[in-house]
């Protein structure tokens, strides 16, 4: 039995540790593909939307441009995405998956299901967990502790 640190009583620490543990579950599969979890998350949004602006992708991932730009550059260097400037407004940059990026979508399609099996939670437990995490994330982004 592990000695108490006091952190296990803090919900914020449990969320932090759970997030790290979940990301670690993905790591072996993503490492084999040369992807990080943030890159995988970005690709999931791109695959879902088909075409998205850099600004909208940053908002969806909750990443600032200083973090998003290098991530997109690496994906583009790997040949997984293509960025093009808008024709009407060159400040807008559109992102689409390349053929190689689209092929990758099929190779990782089962990752969420594999994760679910590894966690051994029932459908009801997953639904409840997802609902609670969504509420927590929403409340945390609109509330301050002042």
* Start-to-end CA span in the chain (Å): 37
Question: How high is the mean pLDDT of the chain?
Answer: 90
pLDDT at position 1, please?
63
Q: DSSP secondary structure string, 51-64? A: EEEHHHHHHHHT--
Digit-coded pLDDT (tens) for 20-63: 998 999 999 999 999 999 999 999 999 999 999 999 999 999 99
Contact indicator for 29, 35 with CB cutoff of 8 Å: no
pLDDT at position 70, please?
96
Q: DSSP secondary structure string, 12-35? A: HHHHHHHHHHHHHHHHHHHHHHT-
List the domains of the chain with CATH numbers: 30-108 (1.10.10.10)
The residue with greater pLDDT, 125 or 43, is 43
- Mean pLDDT to the nearest integer, 84-88: 87
Q: What angle do CA 110, 95, 37 make, to 5 degrees?
A: 40
Is 13's pLDDT higher than 80? yes
pLDDT at position 61, please?
95
Contact indicator for 107, 33 with CB cutoff of 8 Å: yes
């Amino acid at each position: 039995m592990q000695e108490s640190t006091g952190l296990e009583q803090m919900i914020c620490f449990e969320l932090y540790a759970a997030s790290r543990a979940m990301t670690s579950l993905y790591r072996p599969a993503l490492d084999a593909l040369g992807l990080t979890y943030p890159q995988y998350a970005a690709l999931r949004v791109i695959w879902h939307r088909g075409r998205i602006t850099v600004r909208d992708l940053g908002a969806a991932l909750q990443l600032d441009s200083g973090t998003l730009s290098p991530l997109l550059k690496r994906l583009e260097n790997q040949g997984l995405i293509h960025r093009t400037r808008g024709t009407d407004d060159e400040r807008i940059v559109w992102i689409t998956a390349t053929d190689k990026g689209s092929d990758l979508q099929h190779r990782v399609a089962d990752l969420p299901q594999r994760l679910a099996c590894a966690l051994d939670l029932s459908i009801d437990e997953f639904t409840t967990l997802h609902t609670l995490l969504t509420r927590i994330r929403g409340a945390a982004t609109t509330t301050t502790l002042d």
